[in-house]
Structure 1
Amino acid sequence: MFLGYHILTKFFKNGELSNDSPKESYLYYEKNAIDGDLQGIIQKLDYLKELGIDLIYLGPIFKSKTTHGYDITNYFSISENISSNSEEEAKAIFAKLIENAHKRGIKVIIDLVLNHASKEFDFDSVPKNLSVKTESPRSPQEERWQMSFLFWNLDDEDTREFLIRVGEYWLKNFELDGFRLDHALGLPLNFLEEFSIRMKKIKKDVTILGEVWEDEGDKLKNFNLLKKFKGNDAQRFTSMFDFATYDTIKEVLGKKNGSLLELYNQIVLSNQLNEKEFQLTYFIENHDLPRFIDICQDIETFYITLGLLMALTGNVMLEYGNEIALKGDQTIHNFHESGRVAMKFKEDWSEQEKKTFNYCKNLVDLRKVHSSLSSGSYELINSEENLLIFKKKTTYDEIKVLIYTGEQAYQLDKEYFDLISNNKVLKLKRGIYYLQ
């Protein structure tokens, strides 16, 4: 299992000014991008180690003409805007990032976009013995993207082979730990199985993290997609983002619609998909979603949500800035982009952001020490209107997770020790508690 951290490179840290390009050179330069680069990430590896991160998931690193990087023009080259104008040096910087991350016990995976590419894609980058094909959009979601992207014909044998070779290239030539497959909803199941087999031949323990969701779907639709695409154990993916649980967290905690029991039931339902070689990945933000603090509107609810996230069995993925409750840009009304804001580091933190970082780090430390939080079974103890208590348990560890959302103090049946506050508790205020 991993505790991951997603970085959208252009928004994270500008570590080398010489690779900054004029905004006019981009087809699309997002409002809050800060010319972040791989060098900036290298400079902040100790920060990520301090937080307790053991896997970095990088947004697209390939050549593109936007700040988000999903319009890939060449799969075998790294964008000069996040590295260096020299192809050789750019790849050396990427290799250095991986090497330095590994020295700190941090794995690195990259975002791999195999469903679509830029309309300005460089077809000369395709191996000469392959003839790739494109096709029209296949879904309403893709129809919304067709102004920017072309779509690969994944029924075509040469096109499939080309895209699989892309994955093989990065695994063979770098000490990379795996991939997040963007918009895997648009990839055929048999292609996903073939991709997985070929990657595991190169790296047996490769991470293949799938993104399968409909942005206008509901939790039931997204859960059914999880079941459909998962396959048997790690047949296609080693993990998938659980959008069904995210949908429920957003509604119950973020928007305060629905019951805590409804949230618990979804968590338990999703947990049934976890197996020995496959674990779901839970999250409360990503680069296509609003910042959670902007949804819930108060720091106490954010703390409850972060505490719940760290108590879920499986993998956890933090979005950059989750650890300080980074706010989005409310002047951007496209929900896909409102959360894409510049990262803030310690020298610029408010007192509240310092407090939130320490709170998050404490939760991470507890998750690493107590196996019941990351891998325990679930048992419902009590559910009331503003109260949820469930037990997380392994052979060696047991914790009661209590969420209380009421305004009046709630008294427990006896005194417990709360791991989060490191204090004995009897009367509880609104919040989340890890009780022993």
Structure 2
Amino acid sequence: MFIGYHILVKFFYNGDSENDFLPNEYRFCESNSVEGDLKGIIDNFDYIKELGVDLIYLAPIFKSDTTHGYDTVNYFKLATHIFDKNEFKSQKLLHNFINLCHSNDIKVIFDLVLNHVSKFYEMETITQFRPVTENPKTPQENRWQRLFKFWNVEDLETKKFLISVGKYWVEKFNIDGYRLDHAIGLPIEFWSEFYIELKNINKDIILLGEVWDDISDSNDNYKLIKHFKEFDGNTTFTSLFDFYMYDSIIEFFAEDKINNSQFFNRIIKSYSMNNKNFKLTYFMENHDLPRFINICRDYKKFEMVLKFLFTLSGNLMFEYGNEIGIQGDITYKNFHESGRVSMKFKDNHSIKEKYLFDLFKKLVNLRKNNKSLFKGNYILKEDKDVLIFDKVYNEDKFMILVNKNDNYLLEGTYFDELTEEYYEDSFFEKGVYILSYEK
């Protein structure tokens, strides 16, 4: 299980101006890029460490011609605008970063795009295999074909080549795994074989898949997740992002489209997919989605969702800036990309952002020290006026109160784990509460 932190590198912090590109040197340069790089992440490592997260997920760091990095030009070369123009210095910097993370008990995973690459991929550098591409097969690929070409993994040479990419960075740099972009674009048989090959190198490998149809509803996304989680009884990923729960959180907290009972049933439906070898990963934002605060437009709702996520059994992944409720750029032409904004650090935090930063740290600490929060069972207690359920793991037990209304009377004596206050036969205002029974 992990609490992860996703960094869109070019938007985080510019630690080395010597590797900066000019905007016209990119095929696509996003307006809010600050020319962030790996040194910028290292320079702000103490900030990340203070949050308490135990995994860093880096957006694509391989050679590319864009600020987002999803147009891989060479799988085996590091982007000079993120590292250094000298390949040896780039690799040394990456080794130093991974060692820094590991020495602080933080895992590192890379964003890896195996479905497609840049139309300008350096095919001449591939010598051991003869991979081939194919025409677009899905609605997403039809939209992307101007920028990308798509691998044909029905071809044995192509399959071997892509698996060799995954093995290379794990073996050479001791990374802890991958976030696998647009995994829906490749057949489940490929992912099953990829899983076996990587598992043979590192039995604790993290393979976090993105399986999502961006034009489908929550029910369709649930079916996709259930379909891709295993093949012929064998695991294909160690985790998948739970877009089904993401949709449900929006429908419940932001849009009021589903009631307490319906929402709890979705929690249980999601939780039922977890098993010994597979745990879902929950989130409130990613780089392809708007900032949640721009969806709900209410800091109280944002805070409720933040607290609620920490009560779910499984993995958590937070987008850089989630810890302060960072706003997106609503002037973006595409609202779904509006979350790609420059990072704000402690010297520039507002009073509200400082409060959320401290709350985030408390939530991380609470979750790490209480197994019921990250792996416990759910026991429903109330789903009418409010939603109340227990999280239970052996003797470890919490009551979770989700109140979307005003002043709910809760009888009994409870201890609020975040405010460290006792409540006895008390009224609870709108919010999410993590409560211990009388101590």
Give the TM interval when normalised to the shorter protein. over 0.9
Q: In 2, distance between residues paired with 1:333 and 1:259?
A: 33
Alignment partner of 2:267: what SS?
helix
CA contact (8 A) 1:234 1:277 kept: no
Q: In 1, distance between residues paired with 2:61 and 2:118?
A: 14
Q: What corresponds to 2:347 in structure 1?
A: 347
- TM-score after normalising by structure 1: 0.98
Asked if 1:29 is matched to 2:26, the reply is no
Alignment partner of 2:167: what SS?
helix
Q: What corresponds to 1:115 in structure 2?
A: 115
Task: Between 182-191 and 39-48, report the one with greater CA deviation.
Answer: 39-48
Alignment partner of 1:158: what SS?
helix
CA contact (8 A) 2:192 2:234 kept: no
CA contact (8 A) 1:76 1:125 kept: no
Q: What corresponds to 2:159 in structure 1?
A: 160
Q: What corresponds to 1:409 in structure 2?
A: 407
Q: What corresponds to 1:249 in structure 2?
A: 249
Q: What corresponds to 2:59 in structure 1?
A: 59
Q: What corresponds to 1:45 in structure 2?
A: 45
Displacement of 1:420: 1.8
Alignment partner of 2:284: what SS?
coil
Q: What corresponds to 2:171 in structure 1?
A: 172
Q: Deviations over 1:197-245 (max 9, x none)?
A: 1111111111100100101111110000011000167611011100000
Q: Which consecutive residues of structure 2, in runs of 5 or more, have no partner in the other structure?
A: none
CA contact (8 A) 1:288 1:335 kept: no
Q: What corresponds to 2:295 in structure 1?
A: 295
CA contact (8 A) 1:382 1:388 kept: yes
Displacement of 1:414: 2.0
Q: What corresponds to 1:145 in structure 2?
A: 144
Q: What corresponds to 1:395 in structure 2?
A: 394
Q: In 1, distance between residues paired with 2:136 and 2:293?
A: 34
Q: Report matched runs for 1:75-94 at 5 Å.
A: 75-94=75-94
CA contact (8 A) 1:380 1:391 kept: yes
Alignment partner of 2:251: what SS?
helix
CA contact (8 A) 2:312 2:374 kept: yes
Amino acid at match of 1:388: L
Amino acid at match of 2:196: I
Q: Report matched runs for 1:298-309 at 5 Å.
A: 298-309=298-309
Asked if 1:207 is matched to 2:210, the reply is no
Alignment partner of 1:82: what SS?
coil
Alignment partner of 2:89: what SS?
helix
Q: In 1, distance between residues paired with 2:128 and 2:295?
A: 50
Alignment partner of 1:327: what SS?
coil
Q: In 2, distance between residues paired with 1:335 and 1:95?
A: 36
Q: In 2, distance between residues paired with 1:184 and 1:137?
A: 14
Q: In 1, distance between residues paired with 2:292 and 2:125?
A: 40
Q: May I ask how many residue pairs the two structures share in their alignment?
A: 433
Displacement of 1:409: 1.4
Q: In 2, distance between residues paired with 1:291 and 1:154?
A: 34
Q: In 1, distance between residues paired with 2:125 and 2:382?
A: 59
Q: In 2, distance between residues paired with 1:281 and 1:81?
A: 30
Flag the 1:67–1:156 CA change in 2: closer, same or farther, 3 A: same
Q: What corresponds to 2:197 in structure 1?
A: 198
Alignment partner of 1:154: what SS?
coil
Q: Report matched runs for 1:203-352 at 5 Å.
A: 203-231=202-230, 235-352=235-352
Q: In 2, distance between residues paired with 1:20 and 1:182?
A: 26
Alignment partner of 1:424: what SS?
strand
Displacement of 1:129: 3.3
Displacement of 1:370: 1.3
Displacement of 1:394: 0.4
Q: Deviations over 1:280-304 (max 9, x none)?
A: 0000000000000111111111111
Displacement of 1:418: 1.1
Displacement of 1:168: 1.0
State the identity %: 48
Displacement of 1:333: 3.2
Displacement of 1:190: 1.2
Alignment partner of 1:357: what SS?
helix
CA contact (8 A) 1:234 1:278 kept: no
CA contact (8 A) 2:235 2:277 kept: no
Q: In 1, distance between residues paired with 2:225 and 2:301?
A: 27
Asked if 1:105 is matched to 2:112, the reply is no
Amino acid at match of 1:267: I
Q: Which consecutive residues of structure 1, in runs of 5 or more, have no partner in the other structure?
A: none
Displacement of 1:257: 2.2
CA contact (8 A) 1:112 1:182 kept: yes
- TM-score after normalising by structure 2: 0.97
Alignment partner of 1:167: what SS?
helix
Q: In 1, distance between residues paired with 2:25 and 2:60?
A: 18
Flag the 1:234–1:287 CA change in 2: closer, same or farther, 3 A: farther
